[in-house]
Chain A
């Protein structure tokens, strides 16, 4: 401790030396250290940001129409993001979450072409409400029941339902990974090697042309927030979607959104 006791050495019988106690007061030292710690704690970032890599197609006009890859109407799922707006006279102002102050996003989706095979527009540009195949969903996390089984809800369930072939295979190799078929999981190096093999297998499944998988087109109204976009991109990752892209809203989409709101007022 901070006391140094000078004893006379031996059993003290030989001579009577004066005992000296040297005490160093460490309190100012502790004060100073605490100040420094406070400084470092306030000035540092502990959390490193994560990144989400996205690849988008080029903006160049494709010269040859035949080279364009067309998603078949069967596979196409369009997800439309929108910000929730206040109804009534203040229309146009966005609803803000009272707890965290975030913009509230709404998510809509439809399969295939807008308005189904017959389209949204009748003779003379009339809007055919009965053809509106837009549906509303929500961003929801998985529900875990009492046994611990997970079940997806909201938009995730819809995506999973469309991508069940791929997800089934992914679940199989996940089980294999857990059973140690990709190599033992004992040490860190082993685990990394096994993960690499697993990722390769998963990527092969995602690219497998024989499996039926959806093509997801992500669209958003200008008001929807960035968080919604990241949420949708997350769903793509969670549900192993291999083909998705971000696209612009078309007139038909806007008409469908308006039409949906008109018929489903709260």
Chain B
């Protein structure tokens, strides 16, 4: 048998078209993406037929874990006066003021601590421990330590995770969760106060398997301080009505 000579062909594949497509895809993802926020607990929101879109600015998001822990995320205007950073400092000042009215152990924060707080996406530790929490930022790997504290994974029994919230509550002696909400209303940002009055300014984000008991506690706390309108974050239910 004679050998059949196979002509050697170059295996060079032209990748230009491929590159074009990937760049287009990349552009699409870069433009449409909003980054996932780091959250101390992962929740799956329940499905609902409601099609109202979530408000992205001027909103306090109350994250509720199935265990009943509560964290707050605040998203503000893009305006310079009430940027996220400025607003958070104003909020911390206000909540300190409200807290000191009713507690004998006064708290205060240094400018350095306020600076750290202004960069926090989500917060949720008792005010009495807030100073210690904010000081962590100056330590090596402080951000990781703070995240672990927020998620309750730092194995330190003295560190309490979540904003203190109680079932029994009153308008006159509010618990810390109510203080934060009140502080947000009174911090001087009219846009946020208005949004909270309309109900779009407070959003509850909770897992679908959270017991009613816990949801009711959060709602009841809001009702007591006359925050009667609020929104529940839900996912879109397929095949709605």
List A residues at the B interface (Cβ < 8 Å). Answer: 1-3, 23-27, 29-30, 33-34, 36-37, 40-41, 43-60, 81, 83, 101-103, 141, 220-231, 233-234, 237-238, 246
Contact = CB atoms under 8 A, between A and B. Distances in A.
The bracket for how many chain B residues form the interface is 35 or more
A176 B49 CA distance: 23
Contacts of A25: 12, 15
A186 to B, nearest CB: 22
Interface in B27-46: 29-30, 32-36, 45-46
Contact of B32 (A3, A46, A49): A46
Given A40-B33, A226-B210, A238 B215 contact: no
A33 B219 CA distance: 47
B236 interface: yes
Contacts of A224: 211-212
The 8 closest A-B pairs by CB, nearest first: A26-B15, A222-B213, A44-B33, A33-B22, A40-B29, A227-B208, A227-B46, A51-B231
A59 B29 contact: no
A37 B31 CA distance: 12
A27 B15 contact: yes
B15 A230 contact: no
Interface string B6-38: 000000101111110011011001101111100
Interface in B194-241: 199-200, 203, 205-213, 215-216, 219-220, 223-224, 226, 228-237, 239, 241
B26 A36 contact: yes
B212 A228 contact: yes
B19 to A, nearest CB: 5
B201 to A, nearest CB: 11
B101 interface: no
Q: Which of B54, B209, B210, B241 has the most CB of A within 10 A?
A: B209
Contacts of B230: 53-54
B229 A26 contact: no
A54 B216 CA distance: 13
A50 B235 contact: yes
Given A30-B22, A44-B36, A58-B226, A50 B213 contact: no
Contacts of A40: 26, 29-30, 33
A239 to B, nearest CB: 10
Interface of B: 12, 14-19, 22-23, 25-26, 29-30, 32-36, 45-55, 199-200, 203, 205-213, 215-216, 219-220, 223-224, 226, 228-237, 239, 241
B156 to A, nearest CB: 30
B229 A52 contact: no
B209 A103 contact: yes
A101 B200 CA distance: 31
Given A37-B29, A58-B223, A246-B219, A49 B208 contact: no
Contact of B237 (A48, A57, A234): A234
B45 to A, nearest CB: 6
B229 A55 contact: yes
B11 to A, nearest CB: 12
B59 to A, nearest CB: 9
Contacts of A59: 220, 223-224
25 contacts: A26-B18, A29-B19, A30-B19, A40-B26, A45-B34, A49-B54, A50-B52, A51-B234, A53-B52, A53-B231, A54-B199, A54-B230, A55-B199, A55-B229, A58-B228, A83-B211, A221-B212, A224-B211, A224-B212, A225-B210, A226-B208, A227-B46, A230-B48, A237-B49, A246-B216
Given A29-B15, A50-B48, A237-B49, A102 B209 contact: yes
